[in-house]
Amino acid sequence: MKIVFVYFDSMRGAGGKYYEGLASISAVLKQGHSTRLFHITDNLTGPQFLEIFQNQYADTDLVAFSSTTNAFYYIATYAQQIKKHYPQMITICGGVHPTLHPDEVISEPGIDIICLGEGEYPLLDLCDRLESGSDISSIPNLWIKKNSVNIIKNPVRSLIESLDLLPFPDRDIFDYQSSMDSKLHRLVFMGSRGCPFQCAHCCNHALKKIAPRSTPYVRFKSPDRLIAEIKDCRAKYPDVQTICFHDD
């Protein structure tokens, strides 16, 4: 299948930045599927978004939006544009906002499916089943809209226990040379997922409540895995001067 990620960047006007969530999902999906990124680094109106989409991404099978709460107004607008002009295209929305406010997001007319929690294997299951013509109604983590009143709400699966089993994130979907990271001569990594604290200003305490208890919420890449990932990136981007860690 052909998948296009749509990412509305919080660092608009500065070329955007690397986002490991999408890069990790893309790496998993490329085990049998093709992915591209529509990286939005300006405040595009609905018609502006549609024009770019029609010119560059209209041959896709699945449009996968990633949304924070701040971005959701734009994501909903863009999804409606796609559904209006390409009603056969399947749209899915994942990220923090759909995970914490699933009823709001699935009610949007432009959204067919939402993904709660970690998206690597739910999206891989979805793409595999869509490509083979199999039933998608039972995939964990996914809420699937049959119509405006009939929504299938599947439970959330266990978190990925060993981050070392994931492939290296797919940084190639990002235009590094145009990004803020390139301007700062830096590479950004995550050595873990989750946070043990309960800060009121952060979403992690709410995400922790949604995650199944069968797997620890805070998980770490092994030192060997993380070092190998850094070395691999340093070989691809030799001009980098700074390594940043953006763990939760």
Radius of gyration of the chain (CA): 18
User: How many CB atoms are located within 10 Å of the residue 220 CB?
Assistant: 16
In order of 22, 46, 122, 134, 212, the CA distances from 95 in angstroms are 9, 21, 13, 25, 17
Q: What is the pLDDT at residue 112?
A: 98
- Helix, strand and coil in the chain, % to nearest 5: 35, 20, 45
Q: Do the beta carbons of residue 127 and residue 29 sit within 8 Å?
A: yes
Could you read off the pLDDT tens digit of each residue along the chain, which spans 248 residues? Answer: 999 999 999 777 778 899 999 999 999 999 999 999 999 999 999 999 999 999 999 999 999 999 999 999 999 999 999 999 999 999 999 999 999 999 999 999 999 999 999 999 999 999 999 999 999 999 999 999 988 779 999 999 999 999 999 999 999 999 998 898 999 999 999 999 999 998 988 999 889 888 888 889 999 999 999 999 999 999 999 999 999 999 99
* Short-list 113, 103, 105, 119, CA closest to 145: 113
Q: What is the pLDDT of residue 10?
A: 79
Residues paired with 113 in a beta bridge: 92, 144
**Any bridge partners for residue 2, and if so which?**
34
Specify the residue for token string 């790496």: 27
Whose tokens are 């978004």? That residue is: 49
Whole-prediction pTM: 0.95
User: Which domains occur in the chain, in start order?
Assistant: 2-153 (3.40.50.280), 168-245 (no CATH)
